[in-house]
């Protein structure tokens, strides 16, 4: 499954998640159709509301008896175009976007002044439509508010059956432990909005959370990538406190990074870490982040799948894909949520929000795609191990089998290639795969009891383990199935 972590397309990845043997496959959520047409505005009445007598600018209303109008009556002034004819009232001029809607045609008169038809101007498709919608909402809101105030004023002396709450009631509301509001209130003070800027001024926004009392913050690698090599990094807490920070270590393959606050405060409260292995499909989830720069946003959902093989990338030419056996959630996750915590119902971190599955086109008003209910988080058990390694040595440590596999989405397994990267041997001499008897052309179909359908799936599953772990490999050679045991080796760094 290919995903994107900041709105960019990425290389192909596995089509299906690995599932335990003899276990039913997890149901997959279907993505909604993208770019649904915007609903048209309802037709605007052609006649303005009637007032006492005949309306200025309109033909005189025939007398009920059918007699002709009094000839001494002054002739009507020049006709004013009926409300709703011509261009939308308040439509944005070309190039002004939605903000043009607030200007409208109201420069000359106050509320209720006669409307003068503006000179026709070209509109920029959606910009004009949005402007019209905004003005329609403003007009409807103003009219409704005025009528409501008048009715309330007229009926004020008739008595009321409503009961007003006391002024202090808001502060007396108690939200029970385990409620979303309670979890959010406790977790928000330990999350930060991260701004990363490169030396040439480019950058972006992401999220992180407090890992320990020493000032370490855990986030995604792609969140801090712009600040590497001399860039600027800041972290802002919900209370407005802002700190400069530096990158302690980053792991591109895991898409995990650790930064440290400069001069951290003494009252830091690390978020409690949960156990991602014990998460079940259907468990409630709470995500905190800064989607599209909107800091301290809380969204909710459930775990919709586990062990989802995901390959993601930030889309840059120098970027290598990250692989994970992810927790899938339908909590709304968008660009800017990256690096933020995915919490369970008790407020413990079970994952790091990292990637989304999105439609091919960007969302309205943005070049980036948004949430369609398929978000992916790095399991916290894996992220915790990676973060500890980064704090300890500044470099990531990856488990490996010592063999190169094809990254094509074959759906038949992970095939060991005939040749490795840069002309090296496909099976590392003396490495774990070599010692276990694996050879080029072998197709790995299972790792322990997890089904392997492609190279990226195998990589993501291997990286859920630690160097030194013993695993059972099932593979196919010449149409025959074989099983072997191997001890995972270690690779240090992203090279």
Q: 479 or 136: which carries more pLDDT confidence?
A: 479
Helix, strand, coil share (%) of the chain residues, nearest 5: 20, 25, 55
pLDDT at residue 134, rounded to an integer: 36
Q: What is the DSSP string of 336-369?
A: T-TT-EEE-TTS-EEEEEEEE---SSPPTTSSS-
- The per-residue pLDDT of the chain, averaged, comes to 75
Q: Rounded to the nearest 5°, which phi and psi values hold at 146? A: -65, -45
pLDDT at residue 154, rounded to an integer: 52
pLDDT tens digits, 355-368: 988 765 444 344 55
- Residue pair 378/352 in contact (Cβ under 8 Å)? The answer is yes
3-class secondary structure, 193 = strand
3-class secondary structure, 153 = helix
Of 484, 482, 183, nearest in space to 331 by CA: 183
pLDDT at residue 146, rounded to an integer: 42
pLDDT at residue 54, rounded to an integer: 42
Q: Which two tokens stand for residue 60?
A: 């005189």
- Alpha carbon 142 to chain centroid, angstroms: 34
Whether 421 has a pLDDT exceeding 60, the answer reads yes
pLDDT at residue 202, rounded to an integer: 85
Whether 169 has a pLDDT exceeding 80, the answer reads no
- Residue pair 269/210 in contact (Cβ under 8 Å)? The answer is yes
Across 88-96, average pLDDT: 37
pLDDT tens digits, 276-301: 999 999 999 999 999 998 999 999 99
**Cβ atoms < 10 Å from Cβ of 416:** 25
pLDDT at residue 147, rounded to an integer: 39
Percent of the chain with pLDDT over 90: 52
pLDDT at residue 1, rounded to an integer: 52
Confidence of residue 314 (pLDDT cuts 50, 70, 90): low
Q: Which two tokens stand for residue 37?
A: 């047409």
- Residue pair 460/310 in contact (Cβ under 8 Å)? The answer is yes
Q: Is 48 exposed, middle or buried (0-12, 13-18, 19+ CB in 10 A)?
A: middle
3-class secondary structure, 397 = strand
3-class secondary structure, 234 = strand
Whether 222 has a pLDDT exceeding 70, the answer reads yes
- Residue pair 479/485 in contact (Cβ under 8 Å)? The answer is no
Confidence of residue 408 (pLDDT cuts 50, 70, 90): confident
Confidence of residue 312 (pLDDT cuts 50, 70, 90): confident
Whether 266 has a pLDDT exceeding 90, the answer reads yes
Task: Choose the weakest-confidence range: 66-70, 180-184, 269-273.
Answer: 66-70
Confidence of residue 141 (pLDDT cuts 50, 70, 90): very low
pLDDT at residue 44, rounded to an integer: 45
pLDDT tens digits, 175-191: 887 799 999 999 999 99
What is the C-alpha separation between 456 and 47, in angstroms, rounded? 64
Whether 424 has a pLDDT exceeding 50, the answer reads yes
What is the C-alpha separation between 199 and 49, in angstroms, rounded? 61
Task: Choose the weakest-confidence range: 111-125, 145-159, 336-350, 414-428.
Answer: 111-125
- Residue pair 354/326 in contact (Cβ under 8 Å)? The answer is yes
Q: Which residues are part of the catalytic machinery?
A: 222, 255, 338
What is the C-alpha separation between 256 and 369, in angstroms, rounded? 22
What is the C-alpha separation between 101 and 409, in angstroms, rounded? 48
- Residue pair 357/14 in contact (Cβ under 8 Å)? The answer is no
Of 357, 349, 355, nearest in space to 383 by CA: 349
Whether 475 has a pLDDT exceeding 90, the answer reads yes
DSSP letter, residue 188:
G
What is the C-alpha separation between 223 and 122, in angstroms, rounded? 40
Give residues with Cβ within 8 angstroms of 17, minimum separation 6.
1, 25, 26, 305, 306, 307, 308, 309, 457
């Amino acid at each position: 499954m290919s995903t994107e972590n900041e709105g960019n397309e990425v290389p192909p990845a596995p089509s299906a998640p690995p599932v335990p043997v003899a276990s039913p496959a997890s149901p997959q959520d279907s993505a909604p159709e993208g770019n649904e047409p915007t609903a048209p505005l309802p037709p605007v009445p052609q006649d303005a509301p009637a007032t006492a007598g005949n309306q200025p600018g309109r033909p005189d209303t025939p007398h009920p008896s059918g007699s002709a109008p009094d000839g001494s009556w002054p002739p009507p002034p020049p006709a004013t175009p009926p409300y709703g004819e011509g261009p939308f009232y308040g439509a944005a001029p070309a190039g002004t976007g939605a903000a043009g809607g607030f200007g409208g045609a109201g420069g000359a008169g106050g509320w209720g002044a006669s409307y003068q038809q503006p000179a026709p101007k070209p509109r920029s498709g959606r910009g004009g439509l949005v402007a019209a919608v905004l003005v329609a909402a403003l007009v409807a809101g103003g009219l409704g508010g005025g009528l409501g105030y008048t009715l309330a004023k007229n009926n004020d002396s008739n008595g009321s059956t409503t009961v007003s709450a006391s002024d202090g009631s808001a502060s007396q509301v108690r939200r029970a432990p385990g409620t979303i509001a309670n979890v959010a209130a406790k977790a928000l003070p330990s999350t930060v909005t991260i701004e990363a800027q490169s030396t040439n001024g480019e950058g972006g926004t992401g999220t992180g959370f407090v890992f320990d009392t020493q000032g370490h913050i855990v986030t995604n690698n792609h969140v801090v990538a712009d600040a590497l090599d001399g860039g600027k990094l800041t972290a802002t807490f919900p209370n407005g406190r802002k700190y400069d920070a530096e990158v302690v270590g980053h792991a591109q393959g895991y898409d995990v990074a650790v930064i440290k606050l400069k001069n951290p405060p003494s009252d830091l409260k690390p978020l409690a870490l949960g156990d991602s292995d014990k998460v079940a499909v259907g468990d409630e989830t709470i995500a905190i982040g800064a989607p599209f720069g909107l800091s301290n946003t809380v969204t909710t959902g459930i775990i919709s799948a586990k062990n989802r093989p995901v390959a993601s990338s930030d889309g840059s030419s120098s970027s290598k894909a990250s692989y994970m056996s992810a927790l899938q959630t339908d909590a709304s996750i968008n660009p800017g949520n990256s690096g933020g915590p995915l919490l369970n119902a008790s407020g413990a971190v079970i994952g790091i929000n990292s990637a989304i599955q999105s439609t091919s086109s960007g969302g309205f008003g943005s070049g980036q795609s948004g949430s369609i209910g398929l978000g992916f988080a790095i399991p916290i058990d894996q992220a915790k191990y990676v973060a500890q390694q980064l704090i300890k040595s500044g470099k990531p440590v990856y488990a490996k089998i010592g063999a190169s596999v094809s990254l094509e989405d074959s759906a038949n397994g992970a095939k060991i290639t005939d040749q490795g990267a840069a002309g090296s041997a496909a099976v590392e001499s003396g490495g774990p795969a070599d010692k276990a008897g694996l050879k080029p052309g072998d197709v790995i179909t299972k790792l322990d009891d997890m089904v392997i359908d492609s190279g990226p799936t195998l990589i993501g599953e291997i990286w859920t383990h630690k160097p030194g772990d013993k695993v059972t490999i099932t593979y196919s050679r010449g149409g025959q199935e074989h099983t072997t045991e191997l001890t995972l080796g270690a690779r240090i760094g992203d090279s």
